[in-house]
Structure 1
Amino acid sequence: MAEEPRDYEALMALYQAEKRRREAAEQNALEEKRGREAAEQKLRPTNLPEFLDACHIHLHASLIVQKNPTMSTQGNPDNAKNKLRPERLERWEDFAKHQMAIWDDIMASDFASKRQFAPLSALEQSGKDLRQQKIGSEIDLHIFQRDTVDKRVSSIIESMYYNKELREKFNLLGTVNFENHANMLSPESQLEEGMEQLTVHQKGKQAKEKQPSGSTDTAGSSHPRADQFCHRTAAFIVEYKAPHKLQLTHINNGLDEIELEDIVQDVVQRKVDDKDDVRRLVAAVITQAFSYMVNLGVEHGCVCTGEAYIFLRVGEDPRTVYYYLSVPEGDVTDTTGWTAGLEGPNRLHLTAVGQMPARPSTPSCGQAEKRHQSSDEESGPDPDTPSRQQSLSQPLSRTQKTTRGSSSGRGHHGERYHQIDRPTFLALMRRQLADDLDTDCDPVGRPGAIGVLFRVRLRSHGYVVAAKGTPAWFIQRLRWEASIYERLRPIQGIYVPVHLGNIDLETRYHYEGICELVHMMFLSFGGNLIGQHLTAENKTLVSEQVKRSADAIHGLRVLHKDLMPRNILWNEETKHVMVIDFERAEVEPISAKRTWKTPTGNSVKQGQTGPSACTKEIRRAMTELNALTIVIRL
């Protein structure tokens, strides 16, 4: 009997041990389940509130300003010289009210709860990567904004566009893309071109985004540089200023309702103290953005430092600029106040990503151009390419044969077209563009190295041609290209487009806040980019056609110097390959004692560059075509 208590205690001990084991197993299973669910939650797409919350916590919070002056760029942030200037700055009093109304409409729809945005895991990893880079220049800020705001805003607008209810409510006509146009069509871009020639087969878009070696983002150029605007239909300009140049304390102390004439007079009379100095700094920065907005004809803009956003609006009275200051770190703090599954006030709409899509009076944007994905070189039609692109949807008014007749000066009536000679064409075109630069003169694609491609229609005769417009500092290079086309006149309309002539524009064309175009060259359309015609099956035939066109050009003693797929077209009408963009071309000497002539007027010793240079040029083109075929096959 005495052993019974001991047996009972032993059984209880076993029971308790089993219970603890069972509870531990259940706890482990529960923790594993929670871990799986947490991992699944991070991998699944986010809904709109989750997306905005994560963008603020993981992305915007990753902003680190470079405090070391020796490791950050210098330069003058208030380069407002020769810029259009408003008369006054006033607070945008109803900005927040209208913004809240927009967000209420968005959040009240099923759109907000639909899982359609980047997962938490991707956003967390992006944040970790961003924290490795301090913001010490405008280029750094471009990169940071692209990853933290631009991509995120584009994805929200795109999803809204595909939501029928929101598309109709906000009259959305397409998606929105942000593009960086710093230094495009500027003298600085010539160095950028040289960098692009270093590799055999590179991504065109990435090459254009690289910062040239030895360049800085100082305000050395006085020509306009609207740093950002929406693609295709410019609707919103963003002017970037590195946060160490335009500091948050400068903005807080200097941004106020201001009569700009008072600032000008204070500077003239030298009545400037520290507070006046920061007011002048902020006013000058806003003046830069204002000038781009007016030249581009958009109502809204923004000055961005990464730490702060100054939203701008120019209403019916262009003398007044309305401003609203947003500082996400101060307005939102470390957290947005949003909790999944709980209803309650939050600050999602005050985040950097939340502010952009809900901008008051958001204009509807035109259908954004889809990116061509077939290959590296063919990531999009070259801007300097006189080709039939998607935007050139109307049928061409003249054939190559008809254009050749007009260009050679033979004015007569053909079977279908009323032909005119070249001097008459140029005179009519000059007069038309002097009277109206907006009608029948449409830019196509992005700017090229030295110019912008246009689709131009001569209204009096219905002729549609390609035109390349250029700013003043590239006129010499465009005239050089025209001289090369004239040298190639025997093969125009066969292996190269027909050159119709050049004119100086009587009225300057303000191109999207970037620069003023003052000179134009007119060409017949050459065809489609060769990558759109090239297949593994026709590679041999196309290669033979390219060699035939190159031989014809070389036969007239012209070395192209950039015979890449982006400058090679297939013309369906002539069934020939056409070569374009001769801005870098060189002319071969007639005798061994002479030197090559180059676009810049420099001379190059011939040595052994004659036939061997032509051979090398063809071989390189063949290498690029072969690489392009491999990409297409993959």
Structure 2
Amino acid sequence: MVVGKIGRQCRALEACFLEAFGEVHQNRDGPGGNAYPAGREIFTFSYGSRPLVQSRGEDFRLLFEVRASVELLLRSRQVTPRNVRLETTPLRSGLNHKRLCCDTNVRLIAAPRLMPPRVMSEQTIIEELQRQLRESKKGQEKAEKERQEERQRAEKAEKERQEERQRAEKAEKERQEERQRAEAAEKERQEERQRVEALEQQTQPTKLDEYIAACHSLVFSNLNIERNRELTSKGSITNPRNKWCPTHIQPWSDFIQQQRITFGTIYDTFPADRRVFENRAFLSGLGKRISLRSISDEKTLESFLHNSVEDPVKTIIDQLKQVEGVRSAFDLGNGIIFENHPHAISDLSEEVVYRDTPSTPPATPNHSLDLNRLRPDQICVYRSNNAGSETRTMIYISEYKPPHKLTAPHLRLGLRPMNIYKEVVNRKTIPTSIDPDGRFQYYAERLTAAAITQTYHYMIEGGLEYGLLTTGEAIVFLKIDWSEPETLLYHLAEPDAEVLAHPSYFHLCTAVGQYLAFSLMALGLQGERRLRGQDERHQATEKLKTWVEDFETTLRSIPVDERHAPNSSPAYQPKTYQSVDRSPYPLRKRRPRQVGDEPNKEEVHREPAESSDDESARYLPETPSPTERRIRQRGRGDQGARRSERILARRPRDGDGGGSNEQDRPYCTQKCLLGLVKGGYLDVRCPNMALHNRQSNSPCDHDRGPISSCIRHPINHAQFLEILFEQLKRSLDDGITPLVHGGARGVLFKVSLLKFGYTFVSKGTVQAFVKDLEHEATVYKRLQPVQGIYVPVFLGNIDLRLMNRVYYYDHRVYIIHMTFLSWGGYEFDATGVVSGEGQFKGKAMQSLRAIHQLGIAHKDVRGANMLFNEEVNGVMMIDFERALLLEPPRPPLVQLVPNKRGWRPDTAESIKSVGKSGDRGEASRIFSDEIGLMKIVFGVHNR
């Protein structure tokens, strides 16, 4: 058998087939005479094609051509389908990664009976083949055309499906883009709304709770303690030498309860939704600025606390006082003042510090020997009594201690119930380095005791019930129970730790919240007594001991590595009072507790300047001249002028002074007090004459006129000073009332000699300026001829040190010397009183020339040192601390005193006889300069 490989061309197929058929034919016609057995394979060929499922038209055409050619050849060899059949069977199948290939065999198989072949001509065969090829070609073309059309329809349908899918995808894409744009727009709107809300939240005024929380989180939390020892302040934490020392210290057991009640009262009376406080944006900026400056000394600590705590507390109280309910619950007055500037004559002021110290120290605790007095470690907190009033009352004192000197662990261990004088001051044994915990405990108790002793000392001096000590990190709130002043109560607060431990009521735990509650507790209720009197303070100090140890040396002896608590020390655990209820005490069903029902007293308390003005005016001369009447109307018509009156009788500061009878008593007249000094007669026009006359047993000189004008004073000048000395020694509260005004060298009091009713003015001063007032007394002695006319009447002076007393006028203002004068008059506002009244310039000039005639150069000629006195219808010069005693000029040709009735014949002679030999030319130049200065003063006012 011959097997031929058939390709795509018919001729090759035909040749191969003929060759094979010839062999078959020979075998059939050969010997044996019979053809191949039935079923024997006589011819096989194969062809390869592409996968049928993916065949193109030419593959089908090739298949038809092969079959047609085989049939034609068989017929041409007289082999018909009855003799053989053409089978197309799958030969094998193969797979590759792209297509399925299929090979097909074409077999020529002998039939059981072979018919004789029919002989066809070659031409016929060719034509037949051509015909079949044409038919096959047509069939193929038709099939191909149908396939192409079908393919085109399929492609068109596919294209349409693709286009539909693309349109759907495009529509979906557009929907997604629209949705994305909508989502983006909504996101932008939300972000814009959030930005607006955030901006509004940052810039809108805050509510009370919001403000307290923001002050803590945005400002106070930026406390930054300097850790580099080279950059921190050096030296002792304090110097408790000669400071009054408490005998016992005890925990302030009901402090938190009082704090809760205070906040409950606030929430009960102040509208919670009122937005009146500073916004978060401001507080945030403030906190950022604060964070840039670390706490390295008392000054930086003061600045931090002023911005983060004290100013916010003052702001809150300024808003609380606007609400009637809060005003009825607390005695707010016109708010509070955190004062960090010392009084002009306190021992902290520069001029006082640099004055010479006396060689003989007083018997009382030595205030002037504190050589470290210019430290900015104390501030005083005052209640501003009324709007437009200069009066104020101290409510507590605040002491600063930097946190690198007095640490929180020191306070945690150092504050415990103890006899401080026995267990700290006089302790003899000191733990060794073998016991680090005990050694640190010892140092902690010593440092803490030294710090609170200094605060306690100033609380006792100021007659205060409340005080505090703060390091910024921790606050020690202090209280003195004046029924037992030797015991000091304490409460340690650590705001940061307490805020974390009490998240539900953290407002009460913040530094601002605790300062606020403490300040309101110190302000107290309407009518409550705040300051203790001078006598009660003196009695308390008699029971106390002083700390006399040099603490600075002790502090510096502590090694640096022992100033921090050991790792095993319990001092690292902050005080949080976690088990204590910190919620505000509910007061909705309770009425604020009232202390007495004194509307009249309250009214006077709110308007002290006005009431004092009316009291003084009530005792002016009964028949003033027209000029005086105009001045009085102007002076009382302007409240601002009333506030500037200098030596005016006023109500005592809260807790000081005597009873209402003495403080409301009018001043004696110039003529009355001048008669007392000179041993003359009582003045019938003195408002206190009845009190003087009640004790008088002197006979009347009937030659002087009616009996009411011929009664002598019940005592002479020397007796007056003796009785006054004994009165002051017995009490510095009865008959003495501190006034608002003062000068650069002293402060003013209203004083009454209780036994005889003499009422006058006192000018008190501190040790540094005693020589100035002694010099002023010398000047007044030379001015004796014009006392009661051009200058006040000088009544003498008393040194309180001789009676072992000190008058605690203000924080660290220790009055030890008092000069007594008649009341000079009102300080006039030149723009309101002098303008258009040329005679006042003339009266002031007349007073100045009068003191010049006695050889006195004032050296401080200004409006504040000139008072208008309606009794003498003239101007009185005051404040002669800087005055010079010079040779008096030649006597004038005419009298300088217009009031001849008050002028005695010996006056002119006295003027002539005053003075010592000296350079009259130099004195005249000085006097001329002062006259020119007086003209300038009035010229400025007249413009």
TM-score range, shorter chain: 0.7 to 0.9
Q: Distance in 2 between matches of 1:616 and 1:131?
A: 55
Q: Which moved more, 1:537-546 or 1:569-578?
A: 537-546
Contact 1:534 1:629 in 2 (8 A): no
What SS does the corresponding residue of 2:402 show, helix, strand or coil?
coil
Structure 2 residue aligned with 1:262: 423
Cα distance between partner residues in 1 of 2:306 and 2:827: 29
**Match in the other structure for 2:480:** 314
Match of 1:586 in 2: 884
**Which runs of 5 or more structure 2 residues have no equivalent in the other structure?**
1-159, 356-368, 384-391, 433-438, 528-604, 611-639, 654-662, 693-712, 890-917
Deviation at 1:150, TM superposition (A): 3.1
Q: Does 1:281 align with 2:447?
A: yes
1:509-524 map, 5 Å: 509-511=806-808, 512=810, 514-524=812-822
Asked if the contact 2:763–2:819 (Cα under 8 Å) also holds between the matched residues in 1, the reply is yes
Relative to 1, partners in 2 of residues 1:159 and 1:183: Cα closer, same or farther, differing over 3 Å?
closer
Partner of residue 466, structure 2? 300
**Per-residue deviation, residues 90-142 of structure 1 (Å, max 9, x unmatched):** 22233223312322332244433323333444444544554455444434444
Deviation, 1:483, is: 1.7
Higher relative contact order (CA 8 A, sep 6+): 1
2:571 aligned partner: none
1:507, distance to aligned residue in structure 2 (A)? 5.2
**Residues 452-463 of structure 1: pairs in structure 2 closer than 5 A:** 452-463=747-758
Q: 1:290 to 1:187 in 2, by over 3 A?
A: closer
TM-score (norm 2): 0.53
* SS of corresponding position for 2:351: helix
RMSD over aligned CA atoms reads 4.5
Could you say which residue in structure 2 is the equivalent of 1:53? 213
Q: Cα deviation per residue 1:503-552 (whole Å; 9 max; x = unaligned)?
A: 12335134145254322111222233334864694497766655544444
Q: Residues of 1 paired with 2:932 and 2:284: CA distance?
A: 47
For 2:862 and 2:789, locate their aligned partners in 1 and report how far apart those are by CA, in whole Å: 19
Q: Give the corresponding residue for 1:200.
A: none
Q: Deviations over 1:412-467 (max 9, x none)?
A: 35355245643333233222222221122121237654433212122223332211
**Residues 413/627 of structure 1: CA separation in 2 closer, same or farther (3 Å cut):** closer
Q: In the alignment, does 2:262 pair up with 1:96?
A: no
Q: Identify if the C-alpha distance between structure 1 residues 3 and 350 changes in structure 2 by more than 3 Å, giving closer, same or farther.
A: same
Q: 1:404, 1:498 within 8 Å by CA — same for their partners in 2?
A: yes
| Aligned positions, number | 580
d(CA) in 2 for partners of 1:525, 1:574? 12
**What residue number does 1:237 align with?**
397
CA distance in 1, matches of 2:844, 2:178: 82
Alpha-carbon distance between aligned partners in 1 of 2:925 and 2:502, rounded to the nearest angstrom: 66
Aligned partner of 1:508 in structure 2 is: 805
CA contact (8 A) 2:347 2:812 kept: no
Corresponding residue of 1:250: 410
Question: Could you say what secondary structure the match of 1:358 adopts?
Answer: helix
Given that 2:430 and 2:442 are in contact with CA atoms closer than 8 Å, whether structure 1 keeps it comes out as no
Asked whether the 8 Å contact 2:856–2:885 carries over to 1, the reply is yes
**Structure 2 equivalent of residue 199 of structure 1:** none
Query: Is 2:539 the counterpart of 1:356?
Result: no
Matched, 1:426 2:735: no
For normalisation by structure 1, the TM-score amounts to: 0.76
- Match for residue 340 of structure 1? none
Query: Kindly tell me: are residues 138 and 275 of structure 1, through their superposed partners in 2, closer, same or farther at Cα, counting changes over 3 Å?
Result: same
**CA positional deviation for 1:472:** 3.4
The answer to whether the aligner puts 1:328 opposite 2:589 as a matched pair is no
More helix by share: 2
Match of 1:228 in 2: 380
**Which SS does the other structure have where 1:427 is aligned?**
helix
What one-letter code is carried by the residue in structure 1 that aligns with 2:505? Answer: N
Calculate percent identity across the aligned residue pairs: 32
In structure 2, distance between residues paired with 1:13 and 1:627: 86
Moved more, 240-249 or 179-188: 179-188
Looking at structure 1, the residues matched to 431 and 463 of structure 2 have their Cα atoms a distance apart, in angstroms, of: 35
Of 486-495 and 27-36, deviating more is 27-36
Q: Is the 8 A contact 1:293 1:513 kept in 2?
A: no
Shift of 1:624: 6.8
Q: Matches of 2:250 and 2:926 in 1, distance apart? A: 62
- Give runs of aligned pairs for residues 403-418 of structure 1, distance below 5 A: 403-412=673-682, 414-416=684-686, 417=689, 418=692
- C-alpha spacing 1:58/1:493, structure 2 compared with 1 (3 Å): farther
Contact 2:331–2:525 (CA<8 Å) still a contact in 1? yes
Is the 1:154–1:176 contact (alpha carbons within 8 Å) kept by the matching residues of 2?
yes
> Which structure is larger by alpha-carbon Rg, 1 or 2?
2
SS in 2 for 1:152: helix
Q: Which moved more, 1:51-60 or 1:419-428?
A: 419-428
- Mapped to 2, the partners of 1:22 and 1:243 lie a distance apart of 57
2:259 maps to 1:117 = no
Q: Distance in 2 between matches of 1:523 and 1:59?
A: 52
From the superposition, tell whether residues 413 and 54 of structure 1 become closer, same or farther in structure 2 (CA, over 3 Å).
Answer: same
In structure 1, runs of 5+ residues without a counterpart are 196-216, 338-344, 592-604
> 1:400: which partner in 2?
670
Task: State the Cα distance separating 1:324 from its structure 2 match.
Answer: 0.8
